[in-house]
Amino acid sequence: MANPWTGEVALVIDGQRRVLKLTLGALAELEQVMETQSLVALVERFESSSFSMRDVMALLAAGLRGGGVELSVKELGQAEIEGGPMQAARVAAELLARAFMVPGET
């Protein structure tokens, strides 16, 4: 079960429910992989709906690794995601939001 208070989000990939989480290591990885000046810029991309599917895939792959699942962006791109691209984008945005959520905020 995903625990939103610890930043976890669930996504069904190839029929398996996976828990994703952006750990400090995953966030550091995103800083290296993403073409943004900062993670704040990435958050702003999602808030303004100007993100790319590459952004979504990178976030999901980092979140999977943070949740203990080693799945490359390439493997993720070939996987079946329940709910399709829209669900993938929703989960990526939620994952990013939860990484910076202050306990007690809704």
Interval 22-77: pLDDT, tens: 988 888 888 778 777 777 888 888 888 888 898 899 999 999 999 999 888 899 99
What SS3 string covers the chain?
CCCHHHCCEEEEECCEEEEECCCHHHHHHHHHHCCCCCHHHHHHHHHCCCCCHHHHHHHHHHHHHHCCCCCCHHHHHHCCECCHHHHHHHHHHHHHHHHCCCCCCC
Q: What is the pTM of this model?
A: 0.86
Q: Is the dihedral of CA 88, 92, 101, 103 positive or negative?
A: positive
